[in-house]
Structure 1
Amino acid sequence: MTPSRLAQFPTTRPIAAAIALLCATGAAAQQTQVLQTVTVTAEAERNGGGLGLARQSGAASRLNLRADEVPASVESLGAEAMWARGDLQVKEAVTRTTGLTDISSPGNGIAYSARGFSGNNAVAMLEGGQRLLVGSGTATMPSDPWGYEVIEVLRGPGSVVYGSGTTGATINAVRKAPSRAAAFEAMAGVGGGRALRAGVGGSGALGERGAFRVDAYADHSDGFIDRGQARHAKLLTAITYALTPDLDLDVQLDHVRQKPQRYFGTPLVDGGLSRALRDQNYNVGDADIDFVDDKAVARLTWRATPALTISNELAYMKARRNWRNAEYYVYDALAGRVDRSDYIAIKHDQEQTGNRLEARWNAGANRVVAGWEAAAINFTHTNNAPYGGASSVAPTGFDPGRFDSPDALRPNFATDTTTNALYLEDAYSINERLLVLGGVRHDRYRVALTSLRGGADFTTTLQSTAARLGLTWKLAPDTSLYGQLSTGSDPLTSLLSMNLANSRYKLTRSRQVEGGIKQSLAGGKAEWTAALYRIRKDDIVTRDPSNPALSVQGGAQSSRGAELTASAALARAWRLDANLAYTDASYDTLVEAGGISRAGKRPTDVPKMSANLWLGYRADAWRAGAGLRHVGKRFIDNGNMQAVPGYTTLDATVGWSVNRNLLVQLNLRNLTDKLYASTSYSDSQYLLGDRRHAELTAQWRY
């Protein structure tokens, strides 16, 4: 990365030198005490694959059960696997897991579809088990995998562990932990779309009883469209310190800033994608998208007895987001012009302070965890509604113009939200082969909205109780059958930004039945899982069948499906990873305006089929891989009248270990140069996937 580019991120300038100095100091420090760390050592992950069945999963349970013990669908991606496949964004890695589809856009930040349910009100994203409550449907992190040890995915309702908004899936990014062992790593990359990226990270001893970890990253790209100009920078820091032999203090301080591509899609021509318009960006010239996230976490852990551990975790998170764009485009074939409208300016200011008090008991055949979570969230929404402004430009070679709206940007509303939750989870080993996992959680949300434009204020209270009961039966030491019943809940809209009309509604209710098998063969050289499930969500908003002018909470949607995931070492140097998800999702009861029933129709953004295949090779100093990603057709409307076409893309990597410390890798993306849409933004415009490109990266570590 050039100095001029790095200058855009002033917080990153001294980081590389500081980390190197700290690591050198840590190497010289005397190691007088061994602190707990999280380590992923599976041979499969070093070869760029594996399902991680033997790894403890924090996303699926608060009891740190192994994935093959949990009666649920769990998958993990290690840092080595992500690097081997050339996945330089978290969403690239996550959507290589089973049944996860990317539906991200500049409006929702990062978003996924899973098991028939879509968006940030149904698929939760966490970082280190911490979750920033979603405001106005937008989530912005974690976005890149640098500094993370593993990405965990729990499919299906996870409300017992993380509260409402988890019916589809839960994604948890686990940080690289501080270690007293001195370590340093760095990476740099250059590639298509004028992409430049760099990252550094390291750990070492801190005094005689502590350890630290620091990771920093920055990138810049013009993308594959005009005026893309995306950039991103972050700093992650963590310290762990043994205050006494039985009392540990862990502290994290993080800062992330993103300026994503100011691109809201390409207009359809004659109802389809136009290769001639592939590089065009119809946003205004002074468009802006800016996301800033800060987080501070302090955790005390007391090992009161060999069986009892008590911890208290205090977290503060702040998000500031800004949009100023022309967002709606329609191609006018008769005039040969592109009409632009919806000149939208929006700001989010969100602060969240939370505390989690938790006790764990682990003795004999019983493992129990109980806790209390509380949080206070302040959210202010500023916009220029009703979003006037319009213009027309030529399809190519046009002056993008400037943001010109007749509507002033002014505060709209503010909400104060308090949350309280009590939870209990128990894993009981009946014998060496049978494990029963049960859990219950009660959440209570109090939302108070103040209109800043003279509208009506309101206060509402929402609550939900979620439960899970599952059984894991080990047929053999390496083979498990499981079944579970679980319930959950989702908000109808973002809790922090509900309006007066939605304040009278309760949370939706979901329930799932799931069964499956998990097996490891040949000492872990091959792993596979299979799952069957059915989920039903009740209390979605529908029109009253007897009076279509009224909206009531009487709708329902459901999904059922099958998932198959496998990873196998075909020979000493070869490994194959594959997954397939079939999702049959539909509305059971949904009446829209005019009394039109959508029963039997597929919900938006849900593909019926999705699949991934990756073949990896690693021998001596060389490694390589190639993979297919398939996403089926998805509808963009409840009537299933318009769809985003399905697509299949081909990726590949080639890597060379110059020596034991340096790896050089060429990542090739979309080798067939497939013209495809990743998602829709409106019925007249789709967001296009990246064209064929290559990126050369270098990773150095000791």
Structure 2
Amino acid sequence: MSTFPSLTSGAAFRRASPSRTLSSALGGASLLVLSAALPAVAEDAEGVVALDEIKVSGEARGLAPGPNLTVSTGAGSRLGLTPLETPASVDVVSGDVVRDRGQSSIAEAVTQNAAGFSFIGTPGNGFGAYSSRGFTGVNSVTTLYDGVRLYPGNGTVTFPFDTWTADRIEVLRGPASVLYGEGAIGGAINVIPKKPLTDARRNEARAVVGTDGQVGLAAGSAGPINERFAYSFDVAASRGDGWMDRGDYKNLAFSGALNWRPTDELSVTLSHDGGHNQPSRYFGTPLKGAGKVEKDWIGENYNVRDGVIRFNDNITQLKAEWTPNETVALRAVGYYVTSNRLWRNAEGYAWNPATGLIDRADGDWIAIKHEHEQIGARADATLRSELFGMANEATIGFDVNRFRFSRLNNSPYAGPGGDTSLPPTGFDPGEYGSTSRYDREYRATTTQYSLSFDDRLKLTDQLSLVAGLRYDHPEIDYRNLRTGAKANPTLDSISWRVGAVYEPVKNLAFYAQYSEAADPVNSLLSLTPAQSDFKLSKGRQVEAGVKQSLWDERFEWTLSAFYIEKKDLLARNPNDATVTQQVGQQSSRGVEASIGMELGHGWRIDANGTILDARYDDFIEGVFNPVTQKTDPVSRKGNTPNAVPEKLANVWATWRFAENWKAQAGLQYVGKTYTSASNDYKRPAYALVNAGLQWKPTGYATLDVRVKNLTDKTYAYAGGDSQWYFGAPRTAELALHLRF
């Protein structure tokens, strides 16, 4: 059987043997600040370094909690390179580790494990929005599922959301347009589901109970059916009352696949994944004046009693992989994605100092439906050969897809269906009423094809060049069904990158890269006629760094520095605040570091941190002046973009203090963020502590007690100048996990 890695599934491994030479040890000299925690090093009379034995206890896992630098991944290229071989910042987050830490949502898994990501998800964007490297939103940080890009409709992505079905999460920091097309200037998140097992069996189940009425059940199974067929199936359901008033929620996530191997070289997989999600109908809490929080208001829910948020997503894929020999691999996949979404709520609230009441403005009684359909295919071929006597790997591929999007809403029928003003506490929220008539607002169809090329040339055993090139050709047909307005823009783009990786000793890599990317000013499916003449925003990045894996992968660390700039931003016209235009430039520069260490005696530490300087370099927008009743041009030069924290950090400590017992604790720090381009107000920084205690009474059962937000921190993670979204207070859960 061919040993060529499976680039589609990302499940292949490239585990290199550890280097215990003196040069490898010296490669980590920049981290001597941690030497007190590492095993002692001695040198004998002949100058040979001897390391104290490191004893590692615990379960064997496919992936460690840390950076996983020697694991083959598709996040940084289509060549199946490991993070050590990739001239970019790549994190591979294990699904087993995520679930072991009690991170039940994709947002928790990404922001508490990967460096440099913060969560800014709200009901309006489907809880799918992040900030990374100074850039925010579903266009700038792309989400994929098993390699399929999930295109935002009206700025919304609603899947995936549950971690039970995830085998791993691969994260690329920095521009990813060369891999996934326009957008992704801040990064990309690829959630890879569990796969059929051809040579092992997996049967597991989980039951969870917790505070605020939390109840959850999950089950999964995978294994061979016979010599040619294998399967996997996973399902998870949860519900609860929520931490705020009328905060009830429920959801269901599922994933299934059937694999057929007619020959050792050919593999065909049919899969279907999806989710039904009804999150808490919470649209945040109004502020009492300029950035002032009334704690008594935080647990209130100012939405109507009969508010609705409902997301239904499905994705079906048929994949084929053929590896006839060691030098050739062919892959093809066809996919069909649907997403149907519904909102019917009173969404906006503002404190009225004249009356002391909370106003629910007429225009914020909103009922919206999304109908989203995406069908596509992609194929690529990877060839291994020699070029002028040097080893070379190249992948040539194409993508073709067509997606249709319809937005329905109740405008111009929108209007208050209940009280428009409420006291801050002790109120009757009322009901939405009969203003829920829906009518189609617009329909957009986008046909897109893309061509891509990735290549790695090994100049020497230590030095490699890695390059990528992608051309995207989307054609958009936008029709406003109310006004008759039409738009048919074509937004061609070329993205590329070139980088080098130098590995002077085994598993110590220095790298540098330059890349150029394109970012749409709005979701391609939501470009209005007024925006059809806008061009794609252009971005470029310079990045350099170092990565190292030591001591049989028990100690891994990374360090990177980068500069990104993006031109042609979307801003309010200086002469008319109701109209947008493209202007100026924003940039970010920063440093990111991560580390994973097995310390011995049952201890392990995983940590990462980010320091950013994000700013508007040239940005003028129109601001309405209520005194003159005119729009004034205002420069935002030097200001920090809104929703961008400039300091981020995560630390996880695990201690196996006795046989079958484990304690762990995590700290997540998110720095202050400004709530608008004016930088008039900011959300404070916050630090969350999560902790857990685990007991294995038998070889097949695990019992976990977990507490999230242990210190009961009050914090806001998203929102504007007058309304913030707050996170949950202290919660606890008890989970039983069975493997059989």
**Match of residue 627 from structure 2:** none
Residue 375 (1) aligns with residue 401 (2): yes
Match in the other structure for 1:298: 318
Give yes or no for contact 2:380–2:395 (8 Å, CA) kept in 1: yes
State the match for 1:275 in structure 2.
295
Equivalent position SS for 2:71 = coil
Tell me, in whole angstroms, the C-alpha distance in 2 between the residues paired with 1:103 and 1:615: 26
Specify the alignment match of 1:642 in structure 2. Answer: 681
1:21 corresponds in structure 2 to: none
Partner Cα distance (2:635, 2:358) in 1: 34
For the Cα contact (< 8 Å) 2:653–2:665, is it kept in 1? yes
Q: Secondary structure of 1:83's match? A: helix
Structure 2 counterpart SS, 1:57 = coil
Q: Which runs of 5+ in 1 are unaligned?
A: 1-33
Aligned mate of 1:354, from 376, 379, 383: 376
Determine which of 109, 115, 137 is the counterpart of 1:93: 109
Secondary structure in 2 matching 1:655: strand
Once the two structures are TM-superposed, the CA of residue 331 in structure 1 deviates from its matched residue by 2.3
Deviation at 1:392, TM superposition (A): 1.5
Partner Cα distance (1:240, 1:100) in 2: 34
| SS of corresponding position for 2:99 | helix
Q: Is the 8 A contact 2:99 2:164 kept in 1?
A: no
In 1, Cα distance between the equivalents of 2:580 and 2:531? 10
The one-letter code sitting in structure 2 at the alignment partner of 1:394 is: P
2:109 is paired with a residue of what secondary structure? helix
Corresponding position of 2:346: 326
Gaps of 5+ in 2: 16-55, 623-631
Task: Give, in whole Å, the separation in 1 of the partners of 2:639 and 2:454.
Answer: 37
Deviations 1:173-206 (A, max 9, x none): 1122101322201111011121111111111223
* Alignment match of 2:248 (pick from 194, 216, 229): 229
Distance in 1 separating the partners of 2:261 and 2:96: 29
TM-score (norm 1): 0.92
Q: Please give the per-residue CA displacement for 1:214-267, whole angstroms capped at 9, x wherever unaligned.
A: 011101021101111111102211111012343221111123100011000011
Corresponding residue of 1:148: 166
Once the two structures are TM-superposed, the CA of residue 699 in structure 1 deviates from its matched residue by: 0.8
Structure 1 range deviating more: 255-264 or 454-463: 454-463
Distance in 2 between residues matched to 1:165 and 1:195, nearest whole Å: 37
Q: Secondary structure at the match of 1:630?
A: strand
1:170 maps to 2:188: yes
1:239 to 258, 261, 284: 258
Higher mean alpha-carbon deviation, 181-190 vs 325-334, is at 325-334
Matches within 5 A, 1:391-540: 391-404=420-433, 408-540=437-569
Choose from 614, 625, 629 the match for 2:664.
625
Matched, 1:249 2:268: yes
CA distance in 2, matches of 1:627, 1:439: 37
Deviates more, 1:260-269 or 1:534-543: 534-543
Are 1:59 and 2:85 matched, yes or no? no
Matching of residues 512-591 of structure 1 within 5 Å: 512-542=541-571, 552-591=581-620
**Structure 1 letter corresponding to 2:180:** Y
Whole-Å separation in 2 of the counterparts to 1:112 and 1:40: 29
1:302-313 maps to which residues of 2 (within 5 A)?
Answer: 302-313=322-333
* C-alpha separation in 2, matches of 1:580 and 1:504: 40
TM-score for the superposition, normalised by structure 2:
0.87
Deviations 1:452-501, CA, capped at 9 Å, x for gaps: 11331121100110001010000210211000001111110011011111
1:297-350 deviation per Cα after TM superposition (whole angstroms, max 9, x unaligned): 001222244311222211000000000000011223453422112100110001
Structure 1 555/292 Cα, relative in aligned 2: closer, same or farther at 3 Å?
A: same
Identical aligned residues as a percent: 37
Letter in 2 for 1:269: K
Alignment partner, residue 678 of structure 1: 717
The whole-number CA distance in structure 2 between the counterparts of 1:82 and 1:395 is 38
- State the AA in 1 paired with 2:454: E
SS at match of 1:295: strand
SS state of the match for residue 607, structure 1? coil
SS at match of 1:501: helix
1:546 is displaced (CA, Å) by 9.7
SS of corresponding position for 2:149? coil
Indicate if the aligned counterparts of 2:487 and 2:528 stay in contact, CA closer than 8 A. Answer: no
Query: Cα distance 1:547–1:144, how it changes in 2: closer, same or farther (>3 A)?
Result: closer
Q: Is the 8 A contact 1:75 1:153 kept in 2?
A: yes
Greater mean alpha carbon deviation, residues 390-399 or residues 260-269: 390-399
1:261 corresponds in structure 2 to: 280
Question: Measured at CA, do residues 391 and 633 of structure 1 come closer, stay the same or move farther in structure 2, by a change above 3 Å?
Answer: same
Deviations, residues 149-171 of structure 1 (Å, cap 9, x unaligned): 11111000011111111100111
- Partner AA of 2:209 in structure 1: V
Q: Give per-residue Cα distances to partners, 1:82-113, cap 9 Å, x unaligned.
A: 12322111111100221100000010011100
For 2:124, the aligned partner's letter is: G
Q: Match of 1:653, SS?
A: strand
Task: Give the corresponding residue for 2:703.
Answer: 664
Output the amino acid matched with 2:652: W
Match of residue 637, structure 2, among 599, 614, 630: 599
Provide, for residues 535-574 of structure 1, a one-character-per-residue CA deviation record: whole Å limited to 9, x for no partner. Answer: 0111213467799998543321111001111111222300
